[in-house]
Structure 1
Amino acid sequence: MHTRTATALAAALLLTACSPAGTDAKPKPSPTLSRRERFLAAVDQADLQSWNEKHPPENELMEYPEKWCTALNNGHSVKWMFHGDDDRLYPNGWTWGTKEADAHELLILAVKAYCPKWRSQVVEELRSSGDY
């Protein structure tokens, strides 16, 4: 009987000693992710169907976000970036491609990470055209 009581008491003391209420420990701050890390994490979570068989190399993919933001800063539309005379801003490579719906999702993820002030404009343009 004393063994059970001693074991129970020891367990209670151990739990009390480990509880956050009994300590002054501050939670560790979460690390701040770079724009690149946020964007790549969001792309991984998006699971774009276009890339099920062939995912673009990271260095090729990373050429787009800042170019898209520059185009938006210069007053260009999504339609101009993806379907204009010079469609170099459409996310395609020599060995990989992106379906249009996935390209729109990718653009939104990039804008959210790199130039969030344009997010609502991009989403509105895609919605008004029926593409999002």
Structure 2
Amino acid sequence: MRTRTRTTITATVAVLLALTGCGTEPEPYTPAAGPTPSATADSEAQYLSRARDIEFNGTPTDAELTSFPSQWCDALTDGHSVEWTFDPSGGDLYPLGQKWGTVQQDAYALLVAGVRAYCPDHLDAVKAELRESGEY
């Protein structure tokens, strides 16, 4: 009887071990969600398309124009206003270069285009601030 019990236990353990080995395959690694290159490229294309409709004093390069939106978004995310963002004593992020510039109304249009493309969660607040100041 004792041999029979040992045989039964051994067989049961063997079956359980075999079944444990037949489990489902682990899920493949997938990286955490984040901005994809295509999303960034789409944002850049959208922004530059709108920027090309703005009249500049001079001719900014695409690289010069695309250097601003991420900085504007960072300033807005940090809780700063549009006024602070453009102010030389604040963020000093008014869109201009060594050989080009913008009048204030066009600078605001460029800011709205950048926020719309790169950080649309701030768009309503930016528009509201510009409306309150009479600039939008």
**2:54: which partner in 1?**
48
Deviations 1:3-43 (A, max 9, x none): xxxxxxxxxxxxxxxxxxxxxxxxxxxx9861111111122
Letter in 2 for 1:106: L
Structure 1 unmatched ranges of 5 or more: 1-30
Q: 1:59 to 1:88 in 2, by over 3 A?
A: same
Corresponding pairs, count: 98
**1:37: which partner in 2?**
45
Structure 1: 4+ residue segments shifted above 6 A: none
Deviations 1:40-83 (A, max 9, x none): 11222xx223x1x5221111111100000000000000000112
What is the DSSP-based 3-state SS (H/G/I as helix, E as strand, rest coil) of the residue aligned with 2:134?
coil
Letter in 2 for 1:116: P
**2:25: which partner in 1?**
none
What is the DSSP-based 3-state SS (H/G/I as helix, E as strand, rest coil) of the residue aligned with 1:76?
coil
Deviation at 1:87, TM superposition (A): 5.0
- Name the TM-score, length of structure 1 as normaliser: 0.68
- Of residues 64, 69, 72, the one that matches 1:65 is 69
- Name the TM-score, length of structure 2 as normaliser: 0.66
Structure 2 unmatched ranges of 5 or more: 1-37
- Of residues 100, 105, 108, the one that matches 2:104 is 100
CA-based RMSD:
1.8
Q: Structure 2: how far apart are the matches of 1:90 and 1:118?
A: 18
Q: Structure 1: how far apart are the matches of 2:110 and 2:60?
A: 12
Letter in 1 for 2:92: R
Q: Structure 2: how far apart are the matches of 1:37 and 1:67?
A: 17
**1:112: which partner in 2?**
116
Q: Structure 1: how far apart are the matches of 2:77 and 2:90?
A: 17
Q: Which has the larger radius of gyration?
A: 2
Q: 2:75–2:91: 8 Å Cα contact kept in structure 1?
A: no
Q: Structure 2: how far apart are the matches of 1:114 and 1:86?
A: 21
Letter in 2 for 1:34: D
